[in-house]
Every structure is written in structure tokens, then in C-alpha cells.
Amino acid sequence: MTAQRANKEEAAGTPAPAITKAGAELLLDALEEQGVEVIFGYPGGAVLPIYDAIFARDKIRHVLVRHEQGAVHAAEGYARSTGKPGVVLVTSGPGATNAVTGLADALLDSIPLVCITGQVARKLIGTDAFQECDTIGITRACTKHNYLVPSAEKLSTIVHEAFHVATHGRPGPVLLDIPKDVQFEEAPYVSRDQAVMRDCITTPAINDRQISQAVDLIRRARRPVFYTGGGMINAGKAACDALRALARETGVPVTSTLMGLGAFPASDPLWLGMLGMHGSFEANSAMHDCDLMIAIGARFDDRVTGRLDAFSPGSRKIHIDIDPSSINKNVQVDLSIVGDAGAVTAAILSEWRASVKENPVDSGRLALWRAQIDQWRAKKSFSFETSKEVIKPQHAIQRLFELTRGRDVYITTEVGQHQMWAAQHFHFDDPNRWLTSGGLGTMGYGLPAAVGVQVAHPNALVIDIAGDASVQMTMQEMSTAVQHDLPIKIFILNNAYLGMVRQWQELLHGGRYSHSYSESLPDFVKLAEAYGGVGMRATTPAELDEKIKAMIDCPKPVLFDCVVTQEENVFPMIPSGAAHNEMLLGGKVTGDEIGAEGRKLV
């Protein structure tokens, strides 16, 4: 029987008890019902039946990548830029193990993914069969949940539950391991509303008493600050709008983590910039000196808190998070509210409005705090020495930002100094526009993530701000971009170093640059051409703008080799093991900035 016929009968609402289909068809039916538009995948023996089913249908687009890690990062890019779950399809054994880095990345950054892996036939499991690996065991620690699909009969229900788990509560990657014989086995389809799903993820209802406690604390605060994270982005556009309204109506300034950039507009006077190890002086000083910290969808990561026993010692802390295990994990808080960042923020907003209507607040109550923040701002902690001869990496990002202003632009990054400079000098007014590997810090994330973003937003300008070392980790996805007409722009800040490693070696290891020089760099222009893309190079500040404009206008994928100063450091910097008020603000460093304790931390 054909897939079409079965679909028609289901659409007509007939119970159709006799209709059975192969597992591979059931899988695609379920993905279609879940609204999946695109699968990022790579075929192999254990998923051939699924690829056969894909061949016969055209509802779902398949993007063939060049490495399974790239498939997962592309799905992350798709998910982060659309708010919908990303879908990955890979084969058993090496296909699954290649996907592991991407899964771990998605777990730490709470990105909703459904990853389908093939597995050897059920009777071969445990026999060391060809391309067999214990995918469930290997991925247990890097997925939110995983399933070994036991039969075709259970398949569609498990797919529906997998999407539910991936997207509800704190989002994350979910893996389905489907034995090859299950892909052939016949069973009836179970639609989404008929599937008996466990109520496995529940978010508690909003507790009015906690909301009014929060409003009470905000009313009484004289030095308050919002500290928002990736959870705010995950909560969606409406959640970010609620945050904006709440910040403006209360007058409370906002800082965000690396993952949270874009939730609050960088052009707003209440914006403090990013906080943390390479955050702004005003953001970190405000965190240290505040009397009320309102953390929303953020998890007090060590890159944010610095030395824990000196973290914001004088403040009361409110923590709003959907994940109860994030609360009181690193930092004890005074008021914890478990719930969706958007729903809770909206509840606080309406309670605030009711409260000030009844009993207005003194509009001058934050005047001293504002004056203090202005003083910190005046330090201009992101400033750098400019040059007429060589391109400063910070300058390159500034120009990239200025020249892409007003466009529909998405930025992904790799990991290293360029990532921090991008976070400091590229400014976002909207959520979902900034995609970076924050938790795992995965070099090689940005290029495939840009592929995924461009698939979701074909007309947008998608730029991967890259480092010369990181970009080589997943460079082969350039071929994917060319094949699928995805005109991504890869903007390499080429300092010919594993720059962030070199910076740490300079600051912590007496300037011994052990294996951090990028030897034998390829000619990126020729490399781009070899892939069938376009290569460009800028070596002087004078030609930078022209070249960037040419890149923006190019209808093809571009590798842009932006040759920058080699030994620039990212400042400000809170050394490991130091407190927020012990920032290094740049200039010459002596190499003993970091104590022995801090050196042990990473």
C-alpha cells in the first residue's frame, strides 16, 4: 500500500485498524505530523530503509551534510533561529558517534533536537555486529532522554513523545535509536493526539505569593539588576517582550549571558552589555554591587560568577528557571520561582503594574544607582587601540556590524577570541539572531550552524564569525552550503593562532606558546574556490569596508579571510578564581595576574 493512501484515510478520520506500514514510513508520517520541514542527515546501512522512504516523498527537505557533527550543529542553528526543534538523521556506529559532540553541545545549551540513529537489527544487538555501537549507552549522558525503539508498533508514539520531551520544560536533545528490522516491520500508525504519552514534563503553576514577593523585592531595591540567560531566548519572543516591558517600567538595568544576548535590545539605555569572564565593566560591577539580582533563565555558570564566595555578596537574589535542578546549584538564592521564563516575567509585570497603580513608586529611587552605572560605563571597557596599518579584530567586528545594520542578519560563531569580540562588538536588538556554543564551547559549531540558519531563513544574511583554527574543524560543510545554494558568509578573523589558547598561555603560562600557532594554514581564498564558493581577503583597514560590502552582496557562500593583528588579547577579563570587582581592563599584563588557585580552574 502507498503512503498516500494511508494518509488520506487517516485524514478522513477513519480508525483504519487494518492499515499497517513499514516502520520507516511510520517514522516519516510522524515527522510530517510534527511539522518537520527539514532533516539534516547522512545515510548509511542502518538507515537505508528510512532513506528509501524519504526518496519517495517530498514533504520534508533533506539536507545532506559532510559529517554527522555538522548535521547536529546545523539542526541546532535551525532550532535556535526558529524556535522549532531541529531534526537529525544518521546511521549506526560511526554515524552515531560522530553526532555525539553535537548532542553534548545541544544538551548544555538547552537546544531542542530530535536525533534519529539507525541501529543493527534487534537480533544482532550485542553481537558486535558491523557498525554496531551502544548508542543508547554512549548518548545517555549527552541527551535529555533517549529511546531504543523496541518495535514498529511503538515507533510513532515514541516519536511524538520525543518531540514533547525535546521541546517542553528545559529543552534539549532527544535521541531515537531504531533497529534496522524495526524500520521494515509493519504496524499501524498512531497519530499525535492518539499517542499515549507520559505526562513526563510538568511545569508548576504560577504561585501568586512568589510573584508578589518578587514585586515587593523589586519595589524596595535601590540597586537592582536583571541577569538573563539562554532560557529567556528559549522562552520565545513574547517572553523577551515581557522582559523589555518589565525592565522599562521598573527602570531596572539588564545584563545577559553569552547565551542570552538579544533578549534585551543592545540599543536600550538600560542595557549593560554582556557579563562574565569577558563581560563589560558595568555589567560585572553592577552584578557585584547590586542589592537585588533577578536571574531569569540563567544558571550561574562559572564563566559568569567568577569566584563563588565573592559573587555579589550584598544582594538578595531571585532565580526564575524552568529547571528546578538549576536552582541553588551554584549559588544560594533568596526567592526561587520554578516556571517558564516568559510566563513568570509576564506575571511579575502585571503584578508590578497593579502594585504601582495602587501605590506609586518614587521615580528617583534608582537615581544614585543610575549615576553609579554611568560612571562604570564611562570606563568604556570594550575600547581598544585602533590602527591604520593592520586590521584590529575588534575593529573588523565593528565594521561588520555597522555595514550589516538594518539587514535581516543572523550571526553564528566558532569558539575563541573572535567569539568574545563578536559578543562585545556586534549588538543585537532581537532574540534568536545570535547563535554560539556557550556551554560546551565547541570549535566547529559556527559554520554548520550557519548552514542550518540559512536553510530556515533563505533570504537572510547569515554570517559565521570564525577563527582560523575553529573553522577548519567543520570546514567540509562549505561543500554542503555550495550544494544546497546556501549563501552563508564565513568571516574569519585570521590571527594565525589558536588565539584564546595563546592568550591563556600569555597570561598563565609565562608566554610559552606551546602548540598554539596555526602552522600550515590553508589559503582560504583558494580553498573557497576549490569548494565552488567565493574567497575574499582583506589585509588593511583601508580596504576592509569595500571587501565586507562585496561579501554582503555576493550571492554565493563566501570564505572571507580577514587578516588581523596576531597577538591581540580579549579584555576586560575576570581571571579564573577572581571576583567580579577584580577585572583586568587591558593594557600590558605581566603574567602573574592569576593566582595559583585560579590556575587550577579552567
User: Using CB under 8 A as the criterion, which residues of the chain lie in contact with other proteins when the complex forms?
Assistant: 136-137, 140-141, 144-145, 148, 150, 165, 169-170, 198, 200-201, 291, 307-311, 313-317, 323-325, 327-329, 332-334, 579, 582
Closer CB to ligand TPP, 177 or 568, in the complex:
568
Quick check: is 332 catalytic? no
Closer CB to other proteins, 152 or 481, in the complex:
152
Q: At 454, give phi and psi (nearest 5°).
A: -65, -35
Closer CB to other proteins, 96 or 558, in the complex:
96
C-alpha cell read off for 144: 535529555
**CA-CA-CA-CA dihedral for 7, 12, 14, 16, to nearest 10:** -20
32, 131, 476, 483: the active-site residue: 131
Closer CB to other proteins, 308 or 354, in the complex:
308
Measured from the Cβ of residue 382, the count of other Cβ atoms closer than 10 Å reads: 21
8, 59, 123, 130: the active-site residue: 130
Amino acid at 594: I
Measured from the Cβ of residue 219, the count of other Cβ atoms closer than 10 Å reads: 17
Query: HSE on the CB side for 496, CA within 13 Å?
Result: 10
Integer CA distances (angstroms), 10 to 25, 88, 339, in order: 14, 26, 37
CB 238 within 8 A of CB 342: yes
Return the residue of 95, 231, 499, 535 that touches ligand TPP, per CB under 6 A: 499
* Strand-strand pairing, 86-90 and 173-179: unpaired
Residue with cell 533578549: 263
Which of other proteins, ligand TPP, none has residue 334 at its interface (CB below 5 to 8 Å by kind)? other proteins
- Dist. CA 270–CA 447, nearest whole Å: 33
> Per CB under 6 A, does 414 bind ligand TPP?
yes
Provide CB contacts within 8 A for 504, sequence distance 6+: none
> Per CB under 6 A, does 468 bind ligand TPP?
yes
CB 489 within 8 A of CB 552: yes
Query: In the range 227-246, which residues lie near ligand TPP by CB under 6 A?
Result: none
Residue with cell 560522530: 98
> Per CB under 6 A, does 524 bind ligand TPP?
no
Nearest Cα to Cα of residue 173 among 44, 79, 67, 42: 79
Quick check: is 68 catalytic? yes
The CB-of-398 to ligand TPP minimum distance in angstroms stands at 16
Quick check: is 131 catalytic? yes
Quick check: is 130 catalytic? yes
The CB-of-165 to other proteins minimum distance in angstroms stands at 6
180, 392, 489, 547: the active-site residue: 180
Quick check: is 543 catalytic? no
Q: Count the residues in the chain.
A: 602
- Dist. CA 477–CA 466, nearest whole Å: 14
Which of ligand TPP, other proteins, none has residue 77 at its interface (CB below 5 to 8 Å by kind)? none
Sheet holding 461-467, edge to edge: 434-435, 409-413, 461-467, 489-494, 558-563, 534-538
Which of ligand TPP, other proteins, none has residue 443 at its interface (CB below 5 to 8 Å by kind)? ligand TPP
> Per CB under 6 A, does 564 bind ligand TPP?
no
- Dist. CA 345–CA 341, nearest whole Å: 6
The 424-463 contact track toward ligand TPP, x by CB under 6 A, reads -----------------xxx--------------------
CB 214 within 8 A of CB 335: yes
Closer CB to ligand TPP, 34 or 436, in the complex:
436
> Per CB under 6 A, does 301 bind ligand TPP?
no
> Per CB under 6 A, does 91 bind ligand TPP?
no
Which of ligand TPP, other proteins, none has residue 571 at its interface (CB below 5 to 8 Å by kind)? none
Which of other proteins, ligand TPP, none has residue 548 at its interface (CB below 5 to 8 Å by kind)? none
25, 33, 68, 161: the active-site residue: 68
Residues that bind ligand TPP (CB under 6 A): 414-418, 441-443, 467-470, 493, 495, 497-501
Q: Which residues carry out catalysis?
A: 68, 130-131, 180, 500
